[in-house]
Amino acid sequence: MSAPRSIAGALRRAGVPRRRLLPRPSIAPIAINSCKSRPFSITSVTEADAPKKIQLTAAAYPQIKRESKFAEVTEEHVKFFKELLGSDSALVDGVTADATDDLAPFNSDWMRKYGGQTRLVLKPENTQEVSKILKYCNEHKLAVVPQGGNTGLVGGSVPVFDEIVINTARMNNIRSFDEESGVFVADAGVILEVADSYLAERGYLFPLDLGAKGSCHIGGNVATNAGGLRLLRYGSLHGNVLGLEAVLPDGTIVDSLSKLRKNNTGYDFKQLFIGAEGTIGIITGISIICPPRAKAVNVAYFGLESFDHVRKAFREAKGQLSEILSAFELMDGRSQGLVRESTGNKQPLEGDHPFYCLIETSGSNAEHDIAKLEAFLEHVLGEGIVADGVLAQDETQIQSLWRWREGITEALSHLGGTYKYDVSIPLPELYQLVEDCKARLTEKGLVGDDDSYPVRAVVGYGHMGDSNLHLNVSVRQYNKEVEKAIEPWVYEWIAKRNGSISAEHGLGVAKKEFIGYSQNETNVKLMKQLKNLYDPNGIMNPYKYI
Amino acid sequence: MSAPRSIAGALRRAGVPRRRLLPRPSIAPIAINSCKSRPFSITSVTEADAPKKIQLTAAAYPQIKRESKFAEVTEEHVKFFKELLGSDSALVDGVTADATDDLAPFNSDWMRKYGGQTRLVLKPENTQEVSKILKYCNEHKLAVVPQGGNTGLVGGSVPVFDEIVINTARMNNIRSFDEESGVFVADAGVILEVADSYLAERGYLFPLDLGAKGSCHIGGNVATNAGGLRLLRYGSLHGNVLGLEAVLPDGTIVDSLSKLRKNNTGYDFKQLFIGAEGTIGIITGISIICPPRAKAVNVAYFGLESFDHVRKAFREAKGQLSEILSAFELMDGRSQGLVRESTGNKQPLEGDHPFYCLIETSGSNAEHDIAKLEAFLEHVLGEGIVADGVLAQDETQIQSLWRWREGITEALSHLGGTYKYDVSIPLPELYQLVEDCKARLTEKGLVGDDDSYPVRAVVGYGHMGDSNLHLNVSVRQYNKEVEKAIEPWVYEWIAKRNGSISAEHGLGVAKKEFIGYSQNETNVKLMKQLKNLYDPNGIMNPYKYI
């Protein structure tokens, strides 16, 4: 472990009392791979949470009815797919007398929140197979659900009824990487962490990182326009994805897998697939520009006295850390308390603060980055913008600090149910939503410390740098009264501020009916026009999106 | 002027002879505003190049015929537009007996390469007026050309026949800027330099910069997906544009002017307008995320002995300058010789080198940036990757060095005609196209130093950091034999390497017929499908694009 960094010196020069520095015995180091690569695979979650019963999505959303225009899977269909793919790549249950494959992992998600009823799972190995599958399904009016790592949060990759699952897990080849340009080309089913590790060995970085990286597929990331932890620094997939290979419902293979950073020859058609959640086709390959991997990474964790202080700190970080700032995450006091209660770990800072921030820098020169961080720390501590702070001294401590941000979801999942809202709001009012929601639920007598109250906590955290808040309402059990108190009030609140009801999680089945709060009628009409253009039979991921 | 930077020390430590440093008397400083803000407005160019006759595009492209389905502008149409916009905003010539407005500036481009025949120019002041214009034109089958600053290079904003020009110059309000988030919202007709100056006063930067910034409109930039000088650092407009307001041919106003960095609620429809060159609608407003302006900017200029050395230098710059690298530009020896001949200035380096590079860094800490640059210089000079180099000491010298890159187009324009190709090619073969083109033309006996040869020079330069080459063939006069020797050979050459026949300039009228070299049949079919979806009457910018 390296010697403590000179942040203390900066603090002394700033005339403020010396702050605690990591390491300190109260913080139990957390295993590196447990932090950023939480095992989100269906199997491990199923084992861990086995008692939690999965409700059928069809039951949770009784207003959604199976569309009679779709055919049901027959023995003849199964025969076609088994001949096309082989028996191992066409898993069947309940269609033929001898079908016994376990389809449970494909019929639910890692949260065990959505339950589907598929009886056929297809695992094509290449784009041609996907093309043949879709052409057949389109001709036979068989509805399908494209599925990657199944780590989504809005039920987008889980069937609602008996839609056929087309899983990309067997399309997992890295096709090429150019060390000169940083252009990486791979199958849609490559796991994000596998892609990033491959790039790390070559000094590059996948320009997207998120908690589910150990399970999610890069094709799914693109299909859902995943945002994640470092969008602030590396930008969105709309800018970084250079090309896509995709299959339209009629089997047409769209080869737009350009490796060029600039190509102004016509409509940038591939952009429509980014964030389309598999509703107009299936992405089978992606080409993406990757930045050089940062040689130096630093993480600091702060306590702050108000959201206004958080805003000031963010502004200073943007100005002073500028090009090396790679994350600016917000966590409220209650969220950190929950992580403490859930893990039993001592918090990085003593005392309670209403707000905490995690700042990460990524740069090419460790000495310069530390100097910039020190100057920043001196300023924000000296000015009283930040009340207290620690700076990680090594990779283990970096992971440990990230765990206080990334562990919130897991901590909440141990407490019962969570109503999750992933929203974009202009920065000045970003946290006001949490306050207003808490006040509303408290006023209705729903929030309290003992089990007679349905709501345990209302917490807020998220990607401050992207104006992206995660509002989570932790309940002892799911409760219609609570739900009615939140919805559609929360969406109205967001719409009034021209925010987004889904910043990065997408629409799926969970947000489909609320799109009108973030998109006007014209936009929804234009989107439906596009959907009908590419998928006139509506077989692609039905009952979801728009 | 600041003291010379310690690059010399770095060089001495590297054991190489001390290099010359700017300033030196041989380099005449160039006025700052002449460099990055060349007056590209029609008026000034017209005055400067008055003798150069403009050929009608219809004559230059005899295969293009006016489509009879389009109505001709009548007195009744003019009456409608004058009533809608007022007389000052509907310029007419040749339709009514008393019409005398000078439409020449709208019927050609700054290069005076494309000549149109419009008799009506409309200058709407707001989105509602654009909507009414388009609705009327669509109903009356009147073809239109959206026009911004008219600084394009492929004839996209100039009419071919009598299409009505809809010019955005009067839509020039900055609508809002949020100093906390960096989100800037403005009318389409705001001039890029005006937008950037406004942002500069607030510590921010427009994430796009190009030579025509003094005249081009930000709406036109988005419509053509302009790339420019710093895409390497700030990324493409597909990533930075957060929202658009646009009008479809039927008058529908698409309000998708989101100020949110993340908004995953449906298809990202606005992306289709980015790079559509006004063929599916007119952009009237844009919302864009702007980065903080760099506090420190440095520019270095190198001589190198081969393209392999350039590639090595680029690789080192990416690795060592990483997050502060904001431009890596390539210029071949011949291009720099032409600038010297054209301006009479002495080159920044003594002696001739086959290749030159301009590197720019933009960071938040001058001391750190210089230290990184020094380490980089020490390495590339010490290893013999770079043969010679200078480092600008102040803003004047920075502009002076940039002039050697940005002055190439102008230098060429004084020599006669130029066949321009703006292409993307994978880096290893980026410069090979120039060599092969030169060899081909030489072999055909077309290249020589005296006036009996049509070709004066074959030069290559461009945005190395984006794999974007500008191949320019300088001719004493336009010559069919030369043209036939280059085309379609050059496009075939690019297609073989999966390059792009238009990296950043777009298709317009110049590249329309060559799209098949960079897009396969399926892609072109899908593009035509989109065009027909939004513009079934084909009134938007006809005869161009696809």
This model of the complex carries an ipTM of 0.91
- Give yes or no: residues B183 and B298 share one domain: no
Helix (H, G, I), strand (E, B) or coil at A393: coil
Q: Does pLDDT of B223 surpass 90?
A: yes
Which band of pLDDT confidence, cut at 50, 70 and 90, is reported for residue A210? very high
Residue A10's pLDDT is what?
Answer: 41
- Give yes or no: residues A224 and A303 share one domain: no
Tell me, yes or no, whether A526 lies in a domain.
no
B323: chain A residues, CB-CB within 8 Å: 294, 323-324, 362-364
Q: Does pLDDT of A431 surpass 90?
A: yes
- Give yes or no: residues A16 and A60 share one domain: no
Q: What is the mean pLDDT of chain A?
A: 90
Closest-CA residue in chain B for A316? Answer: B180
Residue A460 belongs to domain with CATH number: 3.30.70.2740
Interchain pair A523, B269: CB under 8 A = yes
- Give yes or no: residues B367 and B428 share one domain: no
Residue A271, CB-side half-sphere exposure with 13 Å CA sphere = 23
Tell me, yes or no, whether B532 lies in a domain.
no
Residue A100's pLDDT is what?
Answer: 83
How far is Cα A68 from Cα A76, in angstroms, rounded to an integer?
Answer: 19
- Give yes or no: residues B200 and B308 share one domain: no
Residue B259 belongs to domain with CATH number: 3.30.465.10
Phi, psi torsion values for B66, nearest 5 degrees: -65, 135
Tell me, yes or no, whether A333 lies in a domain.
yes
How far is Cα B471 from Cα B518, in angstroms, rounded to an integer?
Answer: 17
A365: chain B residues, CB-CB within 8 Å: 368, 371-372
Which band of pLDDT confidence, cut at 50, 70 and 90, is reported for residue A52? low
Cβ proximity of B333 and B356 under 8 Å: yes
Tell me, yes or no, whether A519 lies in a domain.
no
B145 bridge partner residues: B165
End-to-end CA distance of chain A: 52
- Percent of chain A clearing pLDDT 70 (strictly above): 90
Q: Does pLDDT of B53 surpass 90?
A: no
- Give yes or no: residues A143 and A54 share one domain: yes
- CA separation, residue A509 to residues A138, A515, A518, A546 (Å): 22, 11, 16, 9
Of A337-346, B24-33, B377-386, the least confident: B24-33
Q: B25 is written with which tokens?
A: 């008397």
A545: chain B residues, CB-CB within 8 Å: 266
Of B260, B266, B271, the CB nearest to A238: B271
Q: A166 is written with which tokens?
A: 């087309």
- Over residues A435-472, the pLDDT tens digits come to 999 999 999 999 999 999 999 999 999 999 899 999 99
Interface test with B, best of A178, A265, A463 (most B CBs within 10 A): A265
Where among B221, B254, B289 does a domain terminate? B289
Tell me, yes or no, whether B36 lies in a domain.
no
How far is Cα A226 from Cα A149, in angstroms, rounded to an integer?
Answer: 13
Interchain pair A322, B364: CB under 8 A = yes
Of A181, A264, A365, the CB nearest to B502: A264
- Over residues B410-464, the pLDDT tens digits come to 899 888 889 999 999 999 999 999 999 999 999 999 999 999 999 999 999 999 9
Q: What mean pLDDT is predicted for residues A23-38?
A: 31
Q: Structural domain tally of chain B?
A: 4
How far is Cα A406 from Cα A395, in angstroms, rounded to an integer?
Answer: 16
Q: Which residues contact A368 (CB under 8 A, 6 or more apart)?
A: B365, B368, B371, B372
In a 10 Å sphere around its CB, with 0-12 CB exposed, 13-18 middle and 19+ buried, how is residue A51 labelled? exposed
- Over residues A75-113, the pLDDT tens digits come to 999 999 999 999 999 999 989 888 888 999 999 998 788
Cβ proximity of A517 and A491 under 8 Å: yes
Q: Which residues contact B155 (CB under 8 A, 6 or more apart)?
A: B57, B109, B113, B114, B508, B509, B510, B544
Q: Which residues contact A353 (CB under 8 A, 6 or more apart)?
A: A303, A304, A305, A333, A387, A388
Distance from CA of A28 to the nearest CA of B (A): 33
Residue A150 belongs to domain with CATH number: 3.30.43.10
- Give yes or no: residues B380 and B440 share one domain: no
Interchain pair B238, A238: CB under 8 A = yes
- Over residues A166-190, the pLDDT tens digits come to 999 999 999 999 999 999 999 999 9
- Over residues B467-512, the pLDDT tens digits come to 999 999 999 988 889 999 999 999 999 999 999 999 999 999 999 9
Of A275, A372, A505, the CB nearest to B267: A275
Interchain pair B500, A265: CB under 8 A = yes
Interchain pair A238, B428: CB under 8 A = no
Tell me, yes or no, whether B156 lies in a domain.
yes
Residue B478's pLDDT is what?
Answer: 84
What's A497's DSSP letter? Answer: T
Which band of pLDDT confidence, cut at 50, 70 and 90, is reported for residue B24? very low
B427: chain A residues, CB-CB within 8 Å: 178, 180-181
Tell me, yes or no, whether A399 lies in a domain.
yes
Residue A154's pLDDT is what?
Answer: 94
Helix (H, G, I), strand (E, B) or coil at B222: helix
Residue B353's pLDDT is what?
Answer: 97
How far is Cα B223 from Cα B279, in angstroms, rounded to an integer?
Answer: 9
Residue B51's pLDDT is what?
Answer: 46
How far is Cα B36 from Cα A120, in angstroms, rounded to an integer?
Answer: 61
B531: chain A residues, CB-CB within 8 Å: 267
Residue bearing the bigger pLDDT, A410 or B276: B276
Query: Closest Cα to residue A327, out of A353, A352, A302, A290?
Result: A302
Residue A360's pLDDT is what?
Answer: 97
How far is Cα A72 from Cα B197, in angstroms, rounded to an integer?
Answer: 62
Count residue pairs from A and B with Cβ separation < 8 A.
272
Q: What mean pLDDT is predicted for residues B14-37?
A: 33
Residue B9's pLDDT is what?
Answer: 39
Query: Closest Cα to residue A20, out of A381, A281, A391, A357?
Result: A391
- Give yes or no: residues A47 and A155 share one domain: yes
Where among A123, A150, A167 does a domain terminate? A167
A286 bridge partner residues: A186, A244
Tell me, yes or no, whether B539 lies in a domain.
no
Of B238, B255, B323, the CB nearest to A364: B323
> How many residues comprise chain B?
546
Place of tokens 């544009």: B241
Where among B167, B191, B208 does a domain terminate? B167
- Over residues A5-27, the pLDDT tens digits come to 334 344 434 443 333 333 332 33
- Give yes or no: residues B125 and B193 share one domain: no
Of B263, B269, B466, the CB nearest to A424: B263
Q: What mean pLDDT is predicted for residues B153-175?
A: 97
- Give yes or no: residues B319 and B283 share one domain: no
Domain with B145, as residue range(s), is 42-167
- Give yes or no: residues B214 and B143 share one domain: no
Closest-CA residue in chain B for A514? Answer: B265
Place of tokens 């940062």: A294
How far is Cα B482 from Cα B434, in angstroms, rounded to an integer?
Answer: 15
Interface test with B, best of A208, A263, A527 (most B CBs within 10 A): A263
- Give yes or no: residues B391 and B304 share one domain: yes
